[in-house]
């Protein structure tokens, strides 16, 4: 199965946002700071006031993180990523081609495939993934078919 699409900044941003929001270490860090704020709140504040302050601090940390990501990704040198892609599920490998290069990732070497609202990600290791936006598919059925084929190839190895 072959899919052609252009990866855009918003796809890259959505992937990074979802990746961080679902990151256990990041959640533990921000949650830990919120708990610390809750228990170290100054004065004779009520539990409700401390909880409100902790939740507000937690939300503020995420807003700062997401704004930083948007700014950081906007000014990154990503021309070989933010371009037209052709991806294909082949018998032996996952194939990705752009005007900058071609890559074959053999099925046993892939880490995982995930589906999130807005994209499918094919992780080649814990820190790198091919992002396939949902808009690359002509229908939700085609997206599901592609996802099932990917997962089928991974589970077969």
pLDDT tens digits, 121-140: 999 998 899 999 999 999 99
59, 88: one domain: no
144, 82: one domain: yes
As a whole number of angstroms, the distance between CA 32 and CA 60 comes to 14
89, 136: one domain: yes
109, 148: one domain: yes
Q: DSSP class of residue 44?
A: S
150, 83: one domain: yes
Q: Tell me phi and psi for residue 3, to 5 degrees.
A: -130, 135
* Residue 41: domain span: 9-74
59, 96: one domain: no
Write down the pTM of the prediction. 0.85
SS3 category, 50? helix
64, 96: one domain: no
Task: For 45-102, write each residue's pLDDT tens digit.
Answer: 888 988 999 999 999 999 999 999 999 999 988 889 999 999 999 999 999 999 999 9
86, 67: one domain: no
**Residue 72: per-residue pLDDT:** 93
- For residues 61, 65, 66, 68, the Cα torsion angle rounded to the nearest 10 degrees is 140
As a whole number of angstroms, the distance between CA 130 and CA 7 comes to 10
Task: For 21-48, write each residue's pLDDT tens digit.
Answer: 999 999 999 999 999 988 887 677 888 9
Of the residues 74, 95, 119, the one at which a domain ends: 74
| Domain count within the chain | 2
70, 84: one domain: no
């Amino acid at each position: 199965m072959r899919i052609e699409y252009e990866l855009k900044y918003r796809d890259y941003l959505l992937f990074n946002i979802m990746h961080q929001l679902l990151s256990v270490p990041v959640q533990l860090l921000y949650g830990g700071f919120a708990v610390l704020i809750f228990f170290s709140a100054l004065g004779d504040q009520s539990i409700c006031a401390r909880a409100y302050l902790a939740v507000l601090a937690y939300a503020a940390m995420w807003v700062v993180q997401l704004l930083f990501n948007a700014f950081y990704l906007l000014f990154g040198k990503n021309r070989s990523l933010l371009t037209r892609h052709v991806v294909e599920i082949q018998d032996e490998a996952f194939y990705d081609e752009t005007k900058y290069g071609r890559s074959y990732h053999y099925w046993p070497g892939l880490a995982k495939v995930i589906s999130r609202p807005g994209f499918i990600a094919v992780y080649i290791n814990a820190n790198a993934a091919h992002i396939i936006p949902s808009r690359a598919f002509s229908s939700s059925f085609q997206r599901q078919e592609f996802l099932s084929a990917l997962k089928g190839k991974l589970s077969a190895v």
